[in-house]
Structure 1
Amino acid sequence: MTSKIFLENIKIYAYHGVLPEENLVGTYYLVNGEFHADLWKATETDDLNDTISYADLNEIIHNEMAVPSKLLEHVAGRIIKKIHEQFPQISFIKIKITKTSPPMKGEMDGASVEFEKTF
């Protein structure tokens, strides 16, 4: 059996980008995560030890977003790796990172990368 945890539109100010000014000025990013694991035991026990703490997942995402990178792909890969290391019971991770103000022509809500990995 599978259950899912979603963290939606986590708004984080960070410093990622290829252009030097992106690493100095920074911008807001939105991070979305989907995590699959068997959490059914928690439906019976009401015990945090039988599930995965949303706060812990959120903390990993914030910690990795705080490390400047040129590529959002690199950040997404680090987030997935750290979450899998801390929570090996997670069987699937999807991370989407959106740069809300990319330095490009035209008006847009953002530019995103999304990665999925099954374990």
Structure 2
Amino acid sequence: MSQDKIILSGLRFYGYHGVHPEERTLGQIFVLDLEIGLDLSPAARTDDPSQTVNYSEVYKDLRDVVQGNSYKLIETLAQKVAEVVLCRDKVLWVRVTVKKPAAPIHGANFDFVAVQVYREKPPAS
């Protein structure tokens, strides 16, 4: 399997995810980091954009997932993001990190809480 990847880091979206009702009402910033695994050699060899993944389109998909839905768990959000990315042609695997900088942990001082999922595209039948 190819070790090539496209990296999208520090993508910020305003979303309405959380266990507490006020999180789903008021919303907050979520930060996503993605590694998208695919074979980049055809694109590198041909200089043809159609041989890779258009990360502008991926960004729009991510925005739609984060801003268009509401989940109690960032684990669910990470899974939904992974599912959307894996639907793209050429993508073999994806690693998604969802960071929640303003997680409601009373009295805690931290940069963020996060979850990370790794998902692979199922083999073709």
Report the TM-score when normalising by structure 1. 0.93
When the two chains are superposed, the root-mean-square deviation of aligned CA atoms in Å is 1.1
SS in 2 for 1:86: coil
Who is 2:51 aligned against? 50
> Match for 2:118: what amino acid?
E
Who is 2:98 aligned against? 97
Who is 1:86 aligned against? 88
Structure 1 spans left out of the alignment, 5+ residues: none
Give, in whole Å, the separation in 2 of the partners of 1:45 and 1:15: 42
1:74 to 50, 73, 76: 76
> Match for 2:26: what amino acid?
V
Number of equivalenced pairs: 118
Deviations 1:38-68 (A, max 9, x none): 1211112211101111111111111110111
Aligned residues of 1:35 and 1:93 also touching (Cα < 8 A) = yes
Aligned residues of 1:32 and 1:95 also touching (Cα < 8 A) = yes
User: How much identity, in percent, do the aligned residues show?
Assistant: 25
* 1:114 and 2:116 correspond: yes
Please list every run of at least 4 consecutive aligned residues from structure 1 whose deviation after the TM superposition is greater than 4 angstroms: none
